[in-house]
Structure 1
Amino acid sequence: MLERILIVCIGNICRSPCAQALMNEALSRDKRNMKIGSAGLAAQVGLPMEPTTRAVLLAHRHRPPLHRACQLERSMLHQADLVLAMEHRHIDSIYRIAPEARGKTFLLGKWQGELEIQDPFRQERTAFEQAYRQIRTAVEAWTVRLGH
């Protein structure tokens, strides 16, 4: 049974905290006590969620959590039962950090034809909206696959 899900992107201020928030909401509706975390491959530790990501979540009636960017560590990969990344190159980086993460690491967009969710950082709000829609769809698909 899955207890810990880790969601990974680059900076841990746009995509992965958005996915973490949506996954937490989806799983809490089913009263599941899973731990959802997120981290970045090149995080500036301590930065808050990117303001446009936060605004998009609020606009879609989600409650963005308090968030501080966190650097991905090998121990996080060991503890996770499932690791979800935004891009194939993130998976490659994860395997370099922890080769044993093979078999439990997938794209968040796996069920959308191996969709890579592009980084909206430093782009217009439309890029954040697109990332949000892709993340929401991917989280919904994973929630179904996880039996929720």
Structure 2
Amino acid sequence: MFKRMLIVCTGNICRSPLAEMLLKGMLPNTEVRSAGILTDKSDLVGSRADHSMIRIARELGEDLSLHRAHQLTVEDCIWSDIILVMEPDQIRFVSDISIEARGKTFLLGQWGEGRINDPFMKSSQHYQTAATQIQSACQSWQKKL
């Protein structure tokens, strides 16, 4: 069983915070954190979760109001037992940060949802689609773990 799980997306303000909250509820004996690959480069470090994702999370019974965006670091990769990303290209980005992380990095949606596209600055339908995929993917991981 994995004791430390890291969820990664691009900016750590939409997809990975929602997945982090959902997995914390589903896997109470697992420490779950999230980070972004381009959080620093996008000047998002310390930013709140996207307001549209906060609203959707609230509808799902989750509270993202205290979330603050965090840049993925080598230390995060070392800390984690497993790293789950949203898109196939993000596996390479994680490996660029920490080559040792390659063997423990997988798609969040690998059990059926596949790629979970970034809804940032898109329509509410894009946010809803991403949230539905994230919820389904988290449930799939819960069953596998």
User: What range describes the TM-score normalised by the shorter chain of this pair?
Assistant: over 0.9
Name the TM-score, length of structure 1 as normaliser. 0.91
Find out whether 1:42 has 2:38 as its counterpart: yes
Q: Superposition RMSD on alpha carbons, in Å?
A: 1.1
Distance (Å, rounded) in 1 between the aligned partners of 2:131 and 2:91: 20
Of all paired residues, the percent bearing the same amino acid is 38
How far has the Cα of 1:62 moved from its partner? 2.6
Find out whether 1:116 has 2:115 as its counterpart: yes
- Equivalent pair of 1:21/1:65 in contact (CA under 8 Å): no
Gaps of 5+ in 1: none
Aligned residues: 141
- What amino acid maps onto 2:34 in structure 1? S
How far has the Cα of 1:65 moved from its partner? 5.2
1:1-148 equivalences in 2 (<5 Å)? 1-28=1-28, 32=29, 34-43=30-39, 44-64=44-64, 66-112=66-112, 115-146=114-145
Distance (Å, rounded) in 2 between the aligned partners of 1:75 and 1:88: 22
- Equivalent pair of 1:107/1:116 in contact (CA under 8 Å): yes
How far has the Cα of 1:60 moved from its partner? 2.5
Distance (Å, rounded) in 2 between the aligned partners of 1:103 and 1:63: 32
- What amino acid maps onto 2:77 in structure 1? L
- Equivalent pair of 1:7/1:39 in contact (CA under 8 Å): yes
- Equivalent pair of 1:87/1:107 in contact (CA under 8 Å): yes
Gaps of 5+ in 2: none
